[in-house]
Amino acid sequence: MAHRTTTAAPVDPSGDALLGLFPPGTSTAPDGGLRIGGCPVTELAARHGTPALFIDERALRDRAGRYADGLAARRPDSMAAFASKAFPCTAVYRLLAEEGLGVDVASGGELALALAGGTDPAKVIVHGNAKTEDYLRAAVEAGAGLVVIDNFDDIDRLEHLMARTHGAGGRTQGVLVRVTPDIRPDTHEAVSTGQRGSKFGLLPPQAREAIARLRGSARLRLDGLHVHIGSQILDTEPFVRAVAAVAELGRFPVYDLGGGLGARYTYDDRPPTVEAYLDALTAAVDALLPAGARLIIEPGRSMVAEAGVSLYRVVTVKRAGGETMVAVDGGMGDNLEVALYGQRFEAAVATRVHRTSGGPGELCRVVGPHCESGDVLSAGVHLQDPRPGDLIAVPVTGAYTYSLANNYNAACRPPVVFCRDGRSRPVVRRETHADLMRRDLP
């Protein structure tokens, strides 16, 4: 199936449309320079260098509040848990813990970061399709609220672990069973997880078997079911179908309906708002699941994507007919979403945003310095007279960029900087060449 985000955007955006992709609160100075969280981009680049990832802290807190409060208003017994693989750094865990959110982890590393970031262990949900004994032990010892059973080996390992570590009179561990509902949302194959043949979860017949086994367990307490059908989903209907699928497996005290709401990356994307998503989801829950059931959701991408802006410096511009090649100082090392999923990103010359509204600009391809033709940040975008030394801003880079960043070509991973009320504060420093050699043994 063709992924809708691979088509080139036909529109030439006005300055207003462009600002609409940046975090709320982004503005332009009279000279056309972007301000992120009140901080002029030229100052941000001078102070923190490029490439760098800037997070509008207010935008992130606001989004967390819309999720947590919006869910609580619709279902009082509920929890919004951040699917932390979308942005696993301690500053983000800390911020979301302050906002009262729970956290999803999918590895021992994410668990360690969540705990270091001050997450209440009772609000941690433990995921993974290949949980090692070490990971499960760390989760149990930390007092993680829920472990999501993905397979029968999870049950065996957890049973043994509880028997060994907590003795006969010990506590029980709350668990959910992850159901594969055989739903294929319209998104990229690599981020579709709920279809038949998925490596995640159990199809209904096997889920029923796991439920029966867990009901007979003395140490594992079956609280309910989990379902997560994929990522970057741009309409509400697949989520409603997922609720219907879990409803057929019986009545439970807890339902965790996963994440997956899409972010608005391009002018053409029209994802449901958080509120429209919550309306559709809770309407389906009210209609199909037990009245008193506790509801959990796990937004990842839609929690953090739109709070992020990446800044790059133009190194060289090549004009040879067709798209102008604008090569910048970062690329697939710090944003792998394009190469991995064909995700489309827009871009703008960050110091001349006001002029974008004046004309069509130049059809450009923003590329990185890595040794692959797939090293693209933004294809088919219109930029105003891009020149070496210009700053290029790529909006909506808060999700899965930090977590998928890599050292291809021994690139140093960029810093993360929180911006708020005109002040910028680094929360992850830039990697150095010494960092690149830190694990090398003589």
Ligand X SMILES: *Cc1c(COP(=O)(O)O)cnc(C)c1O
Residues annotated within the binding site are: 260, 298-301, 341, 372, 400
> Which of 86/391 has CB closer to ligand X?
86
Rounded Cα distance, 184 and 330, in Å: 34
Task: Report the first-to-last Cα separation within the chain, whole angstroms.
Answer: 49
Footprint of ligand X on residues 282-311 (CB under 6 A)?
298-302
Please provide the DSSP assignment of 303-352 as one string.
HHGGGEEEEEEEEEEE-SSSSEEEEES-STTT--HHHHH------EETT-
Q: Which residues are annotated as a binding site for pyridoxal 5'-phosphate?
A: 260, 298-301, 400
**Element holding 204 (H helix, E strand):** helix 204-215
Query: What number of other Cβ atoms are within 10 A of residue 54's Cβ?
Result: 28
Binding-site size for ligand X (CB under 6 A) equals 17
Q: How far is the CB of 434 from ligand X (least distance, A)?
A: 33
Annotated active-site residue 371? The verdict is yes
Closest CA to 119 of 140, 139, 96: 96
Query: Smaller CB distance to ligand X: residue 41 or 285?
Result: 285
For ligand X, the nearest residue by Cβ is 300
Return binding residues for substrate.
301, 341, 372, 400
Q: Which of 231, 266, 310, 401 binds ligand X (CB under 6 A)?
A: 231
* Residues 238 to 277 in contact with ligand X, rule: CB under 6 A: 258-261
**CB atoms inside a 10 Å sphere around CB 169:** 5
Q: Is residue 228 near ligand X by the rule CB under 6 A?
A: yes
Tell me if 337 sits within 8 A of 404, measured CB to CB.
yes
Q: How far apart are CA 75 and CA 65, in angstroms?
A: 15
Q: Are 194 and 184 in contact (CB under 8 A)?
A: yes
CB of 148 closer than 8 Å to CB of 220? no
Nearest-10 crossing angle of helices 237-247, 274-288? 20
Classified as helix, coil or strand, 174 is strand
**CB 265 → ligand X: shortest distance, Å?**
13
Q: Which of residues 316-345 bind ligand X (CB under 6 A)?
A: none
* Nearest approach, Cβ of residue 228 and ligand X (Å): 4
Q: Which is nearer to ligand X, 174 or 300 (CB)?
A: 300
Residue 231 vs 384, nearer CB to ligand X: 231
| Residue recorded with tokens 């960043």 | 405
- Options 39, 89, 364, 371, the catalytic residue: 371
Mask 61-100, x = binds ligand X (CB under 6 A)?
Answer: ----------------------x-xx--------------
Closer of 192 and 356 to ligand X (Cβ)? 192
What is residue 162's DSSP assignment? Answer: H
Q: Which is nearer to ligand X, 28 or 198 (CB)?
A: 198
DSSP strands (E only) in 164-253? 173-178, 220-226
Q: Tell the smallest beta-carbon distance from residue 390 to ligand X (Å).
A: 32
* Closest to ligand X by CB, 104 or 323: 104
Q: Name the CA radius of gyration of the chain, rounded.
A: 23
Please state the closest distance from residue 295 (CB atom) to ligand X, in A: 14
305 burial type by CB count under 10 A (0-12 exposed, 13-18 middle, 19+ buried): buried
- What's the DSSP call for residue 8? P
236 binds ligand X (CB under 6 A): no
The residues facing 82 across adjacent strands are 103
CB of 104: closest distance to ligand X in angstroms? 5
Query: What does the alpha-carbon distance between residue 310 and residue 52 come to, in Å, rounded to a whole number?
Result: 6
β strands within 102-198, DSSP E? 102-105, 124-126, 146-149, 173-178
Residue 368 Cβ vs ligand X, minimum distance, rounded to whole Å: 24
Q: Which residues are identified as catalytic?
A: 371
Using CB under 6 A as the criterion, which residues of the chain lie in contact with ligand X when the complex forms?
A: 83, 85-86, 104, 106, 127, 228, 231, 258-261, 298-302
